[in-house]
Amino acid sequence: MLSVAACSVAPNYQVLFFLRLASGFGIFVNFTGTFCWIAEYAPTRLRMAMSVSVSLGWCAGLYATICLSYLINDWQNVFLGIAGVNIFSLLTYFLIPLPESPRFSLIQGKEEEAKKTLKRLARISDSNVDVDSLDIMFETRKEYNYFNQLKDLKKYPNMLKQTLQGLWVWFTVALIAYSSNYGWGKLGSDLYATYCFSALSEAIAYSTSVFVCGLLGRKNAIIFYLVMMILMNFLAMVDVQFASAWSLELVAGLVGYVATSAALNMLWLFSAELAPTSHRGMIICMSSSAARVGATIGPYTNLLYGVTDRKVPLALFAGFTMLACVAMWFLPDTTDRSIAETPEDVELMSRRKSKDKDEEEGDESDPETEGVVMENRTAGSGVFS
């Protein structure tokens, strides 16, 4: 909020550039934390709907920015208007504070804070569970700082492999998304109308992803959208003109942008569910950073259209997306699956996946029991998951 307000009085482009960097940092830290919170706090059946509601809020913000720009038509006052909207967002945070995830609290050794959150949940859901009669503890105590988390990537090969595969998918989808996102001006001379159309396309992508995910599951839905991206890149190579302003390339680009936006939206939740609670923040930040690299390179790929045949960048995008499909194929599906709490849980889940089906069906233990245990003082012991 402060950096956005300061943008309105930036004396030159260099200062504006660094202020925009600061505001971008705040935006994506906030966005990252939101999806981590959803993965840890929301039940599995509601996570997709909650993540889509956040993304639709992003679309609403795009529309608000476009409307402010159209009505005010002065870049300095536009920044002030956006800062004013942020004040209301900040007020809602203090008026309706969100509780910390009990999973994260337990990982940090804050059992009492986790118990307070569980009490609040029990009241909201009219649960008869007596939280006060339960001892909540995390079995393994470990200091999870940033450097230890990086070391754990080497120590736990399955977590490292999954993270690297995810980074490539993030990079590829963001590369193509932002290559398309800076070309909306080609649709017409009115930038306000074309970028409203961009926001509408994203809203359609986010809304339909709920149904596609419900039908195919998390992993297969992302693969479905990646395949759509590949097909649209190939279709855009064909020279077919429908009308003076419409061609097969344009239609394929629009459909491909919807698929790309949906895939990028689903990656936030998928990666948050795939990463263990103890390392989720770091892995999501790494994933988002890989996406930022792709987003930075993406707009410059449009320069290729001026020096070579358009089939070259389109083939490049299709090839990158094929590799992303392969990376996604070998990642585990998180649909209706318990999320891991620690890297040990990730390794345990990976080993169980490699077992025969008969052995897997005979094993009824929950991977989450490796991390969190709840002992009932009055009725023996049980498991919190």
For 331-371, the pLDDT digits (tens) are 988 887 777 877 787 877 777 665 544 454 454 444 443 34
Is the predicted pLDDT of residue 143 greater than 90, yes or no? no
The 10 Å CB-count burial string (b at 16+, else e) for 113-148 is bbbbbbeeeeeeeeeeeebeebebebeeeeebeeee
Distance CA 289, CA 284 (A): 8
pTM confidence score: 0.78
Query: 2-97+146-329 belongs to which CATH class?
Result: mainly alpha
pLDDT in tens, 253-285: 888 888 998 998 889 888 888 888 888 888 888
345, 347, 351, 352 alpha-carbon torsion, rounded to 10°: 20
Q: Nearest-5° angle of CA 93, CA 81, CA 178? A: 85
Q: What is residue 366's predicted lDDT score, i.e. its pLDDT? A: 46
Distance CA 93, CA 115 (A): 22
Please report the DSSP string for 303-338 in residue order. THHHHS-THHHHHHHHHHHHHHHHHHHTSPP-TT-P
pLDDT > 70 in the chain, percent: 81
pLDDT > 90 in the chain, percent: 13
Q: For tokens 């449009």, name the residue.
A: 302
Amino acid occupying residue 377: R
Q: Which two tokens stand for residue 124?
A: 């909201």
The domain limits of the chain are: 2-97+146-329
Q: For tokens 């193509």, name the residue.
A: 176
Distance CA 101, CA 31 (A): 16
Give residues with Cβ within 8 angstroms of 191, minimum separation 6: 184, 185
